[in-house]
Amino acid sequence: LLGFCCIWATDIGAYFVGKFFGRIRLSEISPKKTVEGAVFGVVGSIVVATLGSWYLGWPGLPWTGAPLGLVVGIASLLGDLTESMMKRDAGVKDSGQLIPGHGGILDRTDSYVFTAPLIYYFFTLLLPLLNT
């Protein structure tokens, strides 16, 4: 659940900061994304992961949660940009109409596709090593 919260923090932080304060475009692939939004999204993910690791009592606070937040935040943005690039190559604006106003299933799940393996390996490989 903490991994999902990091993804949500990235998406929400990037959206709101990009919408209201974003000036520098991040990429031609997804022209509405801004550098300011991306940076704040990653910072939001780091904050959520650090607070989550403290709440869950992980060892090595904040060194356990902060790297997870950094990696999840960056991977979340990369997943979104990759999915946008695939849509542009296919000449599609939205990946479906199942969720009106959200661009379709791929637009809602793109971040999870990139981050899920990283979160899995963090919890199964790295976190147990930190507990020893």
Q: How far apart are CA 127 and CA 132, in angstroms?
A: 9
Q: Which domain holds residue 94?
A: 2-130
Using pLDDT thresholds of 50, 70 and 90, give the confidence band for residue 59. confident
- Count other Cβ atoms within 10 Å, centred on residue 90: 9
**pLDDT tens digit sequence for 72-127:** 999 999 998 888 888 778 777 655 565 555 556 666 778 888 899 999 998 898 87
Say what the pLDDT of residue 57 is. 85
**pLDDT tens digit sequence for 13-48:** 998 999 999 889 887 777 788 999 999 999 999 999
Whether the Cβ atoms of residue 72 and residue 7 lie closer than 8 Å to each other:
yes
Residue 25 bridge partners (DSSP): 34
Q: How far apart are CA 112 and CA 11, in angstroms?
A: 11
Closest CA to 2 of 73, 81, 80: 73
Q: How far apart are CA 23 and CA 45, in angstroms?
A: 21
Total number of domains constituting the chain: 1
